[in-house]
Each structure stands twice: as structure tokens, then as C-alpha cells.
Amino acid sequence: MKTLSDFNFKGKTVLLRSDLNSNVVNGKVLLGGRIKESAKTIKELKKKKAKIVVIAHQGQKGKATFASLRQHAKYLNKLTKIKFIDDLIGKKAINEIKNLKPGQAILLENLRFEEDEFHPQKGKKNKLIKILTPLFNVYVNDAFSVCHRKHASIIGFPKYLKGFGGRLLEKEVIALKKINLKNCLYVLGGSKPGDYLPLLKGNRVLACGLFGQSCLIAKGIDLGAQNKYLSKEVSLNQALKDKLKKRLKNVITPLDFGIKVNNKRKDLDLSEFPSKYKIFDIGPKTRKEFIKKIKKTKAVYMKGPVGDFSSKGFEKGTFEILRAISKSKGFSLIGGGHLNDAIAMSKIPRKKFDYISLSGGALLKMIAGEKLPGLEALKK
């Protein structure tokens, strides 16, 4: 893979795929590690006098985190000057790209607002590829954390443009190649149960977050209000439930949960469900049980939050589990944007973990031994 050191970017128009995907609370995007680290690559390309056009995504269609990149641009702008263009492949975007001067950067609108982002197989008929490719000299992928997605911005552009790995992508690839996860305990939370399927067979797993709840529903447990929420928020349909159910042999699921009643936390045992209230965290029994297992393990990998740590009173699950991992003697690997934010909020020193990756799903696939389409595309 070629990197930013292998080319003279001076005066070249660069299509830079970054991962700015961040935590969103009540419509407000939170400034996290992905935005901060992406800014460094933009800065380096500016120094090299490239004309930089950043493309990125936020959230998934139909979910609460699906949003414009306007707020991301505001954060980025504090770190390095960048102009937000509320357009992706229309006249406005095209004019701005054509008028860029060396050392300038713009950020286009959320890639996922354009359906063709999901159809790279259309090749030159794909709108993103057809309209954007002729405007650029080179493509840089700095979004290691999206390299598991076969999207146009990941595998489409490098078919038609000379491709390079950005600094953040390079840093993650080098670090992750050195990691040894023999006899690892997997603490899997967050909201993307489908992504975990390749890891469930044969591995010891502590299931939490929306993933833990999905496992319980797959086992046939009725959680009440949370069932409906999960079917929408994590697309928990019958097919996914069936797949999960077949892989739950080594998966330990929560014993209790923290629910929100009149804006206050109440802990309920699993036997007290279904409940009309939504779940925001694991309960004290689960915490204790999980921490016991974490203490004994030789290596631990955690991905995704345990609960909604941005809601007051529901931080405990995520923070306590992270704290236990930070104290464990075994090798610790943390993955994903949310946990990066949680570590910052919990004030646990980052150096207490062996490696913290900004990547969630992509890292997971790499650990499961799968090739990442985004990295393969850069090699070709």
C-alpha cells in the first residue's frame, strides 16, 4: 500500500475519504477522536500544498445518528481551516472543487445521502464515481474504520484513481498487525449485532449494549418496550435473530438492566421483564459478573458501549467495565468511536490500555481473519 510519503501532492486535487462518524446525542454531534485524528491528515495534505476535498459519512439511514456533516465541519474548522459545502455531487460541489487553491480544504455533505454510495458495482454508471472521478488527480483513504464496507467511497474510487493510504489508516494498520489476541475474552456492546456474527463461533463473549439485549431477544426473552426499539435501531429482524440464536453457545448475556423511569434510574432483574420502560444500561449483578471474568482473562477486546453512557445516571456499566479492563493484567484492546469518547469522559488514562483503535467493525473483521475490501482496493 502506498502512503502519503510516496507521492508529490503539490497542486494535486485529492479526494480524501475520512471517517468522521461520531456519537450523536439529542441531535448534537460530539467531538470525538475520529474528527481530531482526521484533522491531522488534512493538515499534512495542506502542508504538502494539495487541494483537498474531504468526503465522509454520519450514521445510517433511518437511525437517530443519521445527520448532515455541517456540525463536523464546525469542529474540524477549529483544528484546521475547512469550508463546508452542503452538496455532494451537484453544481455547487463541482464549482467549489474546481475553484480550490493549493493548501485549501472543503468538506462535502454526508456520502450516505446519495444512494449510489451503496452501489459501487455500478462502476462508471455510479453517480458518485461518474461525477467526482474526473475532477481529481488522486484518492486517499484515511478511513480504516470503514474499510469493511463495500461502498463506492471505499472500493469504487481506487478503481479509477491512483490510491493512497492516509496517515490515520496507516497508523491503525501498522499497530493492529502486531496485536496478539490468543485466548481472548470479547466484551461486545454497541448497536451493530450483525457485525459480530463472525466472532461469535468459538470465542468467549460477554454481550452487552444493544447487542446483549438482541441476544436475549434472540433467545426468546421478551424485554417489552425495548423489543420494538431494537427492531428499528439495530434492524433486529427474524433472520438476524435466527443467526444470533445459532451462535450463542459461548455468549454470556446480561442478568439485569438499568431502566429509565421518570428520568431516574431503576435496576430490574431479567425475571422482572417485560417492562414498558426503555433499557439504558446493564444492572449491578451483570457488572459484577462481567468484571469477575475480565479480571481472570489473559487478553480482552472490547467494542461498543455497555449502555447509554451519555445519559446521566447510566454511565456506570460502560465506565466500570472499562475501568476493570484498564486494571486487568492481560492485554487490552479497545475499539470504536464510542468507546474512545467514553474513555475521555470517564477520565481513565488512555495509557492504561495496550491499544485503543478508532475502528469498530473493521477491526472486528480483521480480528476474525477476514480481508478488508477497502485495504484490498488500495493494494490493487
**Torsion on CA atoms 254, 58, 72, 89, rounded to nearest 10:** 180
CB of residue 51 vs ligand 3PG: minimum separation in angstroms? Answer: 25
Cell numbers 472486528 correspond to 364
Beta bridge partners of 108: none
Q: Given the complex with ligand 3PG, which of 194 and 284 has the nearer CB atom?
A: 194
Of the pair 13, 60, the CB lying nearest ligand 3PG is at: 60
Alpha-carbon distance values, 366 to 148, 154, 172, 270, 302 (Å): 9, 16, 11, 34, 14
Other CB atoms within 10 A of residue 331 CB: 19
Give the interface with ligand 3PG as residue ranges (CB under 6 A). Answer: 19, 21, 60, 145-146, 149, 192, 337, 360-361
Task: Give the nearer residue to ligand 3PG in terms of CB position, either 283 or 337.
Answer: 337
Cis peptide upstream of residue 274 (ω within 30 degrees of 0): yes
Contacts 24+ apart (CB under 8 A), 231-234: 232/62, 233/63, 233/64, 233/191, 234/191, 234/192, 234/193, 234/194, 234/210
CB-based contact 128:121 (threshold 8 Å): no
Nearest-angstrom CA–CA distance, 113 and 36: 23
What count of Cα atoms within 13 Å lies in the side-chain half-sphere of residue 178? 8
C-beta separation of 316 from 286 below 8 A: no
Give whichever of 60 and 104 is closer to ligand 3PG, judged by the CB atom.
60
CB of 277 to ligand 3PG, least distance (A): 27
Residue closer to ligand 3PG (CB basis): 50 or 230: 230
CA distance 360 to 32: 14
The nearest distance, CB 296 to ligand 3PG, in angstroms, is 29
Nearer Cβ to ligand 3PG (146/259): 146
Q: 137 or 235: whose CB is closer to ligand 3PG?
A: 235
- In the complex, the smallest distance separating the C-beta of residue 108 from ligand 3PG, rounded to whole angstroms, is 16
Residue 38 CB, nearest approach to ligand 3PG (Å)? 11
Backbone angles phi, psi at 53, to 5 degrees: -120, 115
Nearest to 110 by CA among 90, 88, 131: 88
CB 267 within 8 A of CB 284: yes
**Smaller CB separation from ligand 3PG, 21 or 214:** 21
Comparing CA positions, the residue from 378, 361, 367, 313 lying closest to residue 194 is: 361
Q: Which residue is nearest to ligand 3PG (CB)?
A: 21
Report helix, strand or coil for 53.
Answer: strand
153/297 with CB nearer ligand 3PG: 153
